[in-house]
Chains A and B, each alone.
Chain A
Amino acid sequence: MTIAIPVDEGGKTVCVSFGRAPYFLFHDDGTGNTRVLANPAADSPGGAGVKAAQFVADAGADSLIAFRCGQNAAQVFSASNVAIYRAEGVSAEENLKALEAGRLPVLATFHAGFHGAV
């Protein structure tokens, strides 16, 4: 299973934003492999959530761990069967462990679009 997390520079901490996170971390819990890729949507004037979600879905993610996520991104994830979990604490590594242990809650509320803002 591949888990995606939006992360800050350095790839260690979970980013407060989803659509405009500078990077996404992808962890394959089968192989234990982790890669950090630049988020193509980070600089988008608009529709960053859509573009970031498309990127994450295309990368083959099965789950996403994030602090928050917009309605548009959520729609893309729902159509791609990507499960979304709410991050706890800022450490990406700790969040992966928490997900494995089944301790992370599902992210159920999504915010409205920002129309070109953050």
Chain B
Amino acid sequence: MKISVVSGKGGTGKTFVAVNLAVTAQDAVYMDCDVEEPNGRLFLKPNVTRELPVHILVPHIDSVRCTGCRKCVSFCRFNALAMVKGKPILFPEICHSCGGCSLVCPVGAISERPLQVGAVQLGYVGSGKETRPSLRIVTGVLSIGKVSAVPVVKATLDAGAALSYDDAQADVASQMVSVIDCPPGSGCSVLESVAGSDFCLMVVEPTAFGFHNFRMIEQIPKQLGIPCAVVINKDGEPYAPLEAYCAEHSVPILARIPYREDLTEILSEGTLAVKADRELARLFEQLLRAIVDGGEA
């Protein structure tokens, strides 16, 4: 079962929930799709066994063949090409790698070359002696200065999916859970991360800002037609509008993680909450059961 974890605005506890959920499952793959700031690995501390580079294709112009006709410049909607004194100039930073310039060049002067924009790291947590580690970790990392997060997110999801495919091929009875730690916000890369999942868990703070934010991110699983539920994080006083909304719209609230000051300290040190605290370990057990057994509280 693939569970995506979203939160919209940052600082809500999305990675906290995703990481502890993955650790709680006996057999899990954790995919960190927050490729600009993949923080899951700070808590999980995986043994990284492989790193797969992620490439996009960028155009390369043969200036000898180029006739200066400017069809490429006119075509490019991202203004990544200029033509000065009959010589083309390419700006790879704003190129979206659509392949259009290469397509429209009448003299075949444009070819494409791979440019690395990030990488996917595969790792595991365990002694290394098991046939299959209980927790496998797939981390997407966007290279500094690169803007194209989506290809790295897709590569991360593909790598995670490949792991479950391998299991199915090997006929391993799989209770396996995939936890997808999605990027913040509600942009294209978030939608990519949620689209492939079977269930979407929304991490929400019980405050006015948290509720407003929740209303926005709720659109994501709704529009993608994916069953979803709420986890309330930093719980204290119930926030009435959130409770009322969830009740009226049948959005299950599967867990309420209390705000605890001692928690902030252990988190800042990169400790896994479910390993350090029995109350939280039990809470995440129940949360996982609730999701896997049907998403009802």
CA distance A80 to B91 in the complex (A): 16
User: In the complex, which residues of chain A have a beta carbon less than 8 angstroms from the beta carbon of B93?
Assistant: 72, 113, 115
Q: A72 near B84 (CB under 8 angstroms)?
A: no
Size category of the B interface is: 10 to 19
Q: Which of A45, A51, A75, A115 contacts B89 (CB 8 A)?
A: A75
8 A Cβ contacts from A38-71 to B: 41, 44-48, 50-51, 53-54, 57
**Total A-B residue pairs with C-beta atoms closer than 8 Å?**
49
Say how far A100's CB is from chain B's closest CB, in angstroms.
26
Partner of B94, one of A53, A54, A72, A79: A72
Contacts of B87 in A (CB 8 A): 79
Given A47-B78, A51-B79, the answer on whether A57 and B84 have CB atoms closer than 8 Å is: yes
B224 at the interface (CB under 8 A from A): no
Residues in B with CB closer than 8 Å to A99 are none
Q: Is the CB of B79 within 8 A of A41?
A: yes
| Residues of B contacting A113 in the complex (Cβ-Cβ under 8 angstroms) | 91, 93-94
Contacts of A46 in B (CB 8 A): 78-79, 94
Q: How many residues of A contact B (CB 8 A)?
A: 19
| Contact across chains for B147 and A50 when beta carbons are under 8 A apart | no
A103–B76 alpha-carbon span in the complex (Å): 39
Task: Say which residue of A45, A51, A80, A116 sits within 8 Å of B85 (CB atoms).
Answer: A80
19 contacts between A and B (CB under 8 A): A45-B78, A46-B79, A46-B94, A47-B76, A47-B79, A47-B91, A50-B79, A50-B91, A51-B79, A53-B82, A54-B73, A54-B79, A54-B82, A72-B94, A79-B82, A79-B84, A80-B84, A113-B94, A115-B147
